[in-house]
Chains A and B, each alone.
Chain A
Amino acid sequence: MDSFSSPSPGSSQQMSAQELKNKLQSQLALEYAQQFLETVRGKCFEKCITKPGSSLSGSESSCISRCVDRYIEATGIISKTLFGGSQH
């Protein structure tokens, strides 16, 4: 395995492979999360905000909360059906 020097703060970059991998994985995880949130927003707006009022009602708020939970659960069901085990 290669040996890389770790960067000291402020030094010009020489990132280790592991650091690079970690950084890439963090970035990817963030992207996936953003994408997921975008989808959930769309679905729950559709389901819960049927007639937009001048403020979010209590029933709309609780609908949204349930909707998010259900969508996460649905993702788990699909994931498990396709790939088995428990994915997150």
Chain B
Amino acid sequence: MDFSKLDSSEMQQFFSQEQQLAMVNEMVSKLTDACWDKCITGTPGNKFSSSESACLSNCAQRYIEMSVLIMKKFQSMQ
């Protein structure tokens, strides 16, 4: 196979995009996993209760805030 195409700028851009998508996917997967455990405590129903869906949404937001907080704290320790 001809590998010389792989370092074209077109392919570089493609790899960069796919890398970003992979990071997005990773983040969503990880958070859904963690927030499911925190928020869906009973047996899954035919739909989420309003408190369950609110919990999931809140969970993701609080995680982001926590990340910022941790970063700030870490930076203040440098």
Contact = CB atoms under 8 A, between A and B. Distances in A.
Contacts of B18: 24-25, 28
Secondary structure of the B contact surface, majority rule:
helix
A53 B29 CA distance: 31
Given A21-B14, A25-B18, A82 B28 contact: yes
Interface of B: 1-2, 5, 8, 10-11, 14, 18, 21-22, 24-25, 27-29, 31-33, 35-36, 39-40, 43-48, 53, 56-57, 59-61, 64
Given A21-B11, A71-B36, 17 more contacts: A2-B5, A13-B1, A15-B5, A17-B5, A17-B8, A17-B10, A25-B18, A43-B33, A47-B43, A47-B44, A66-B46, A70-B47, A70-B48, A71-B32, A75-B29, A78-B57, A82-B64
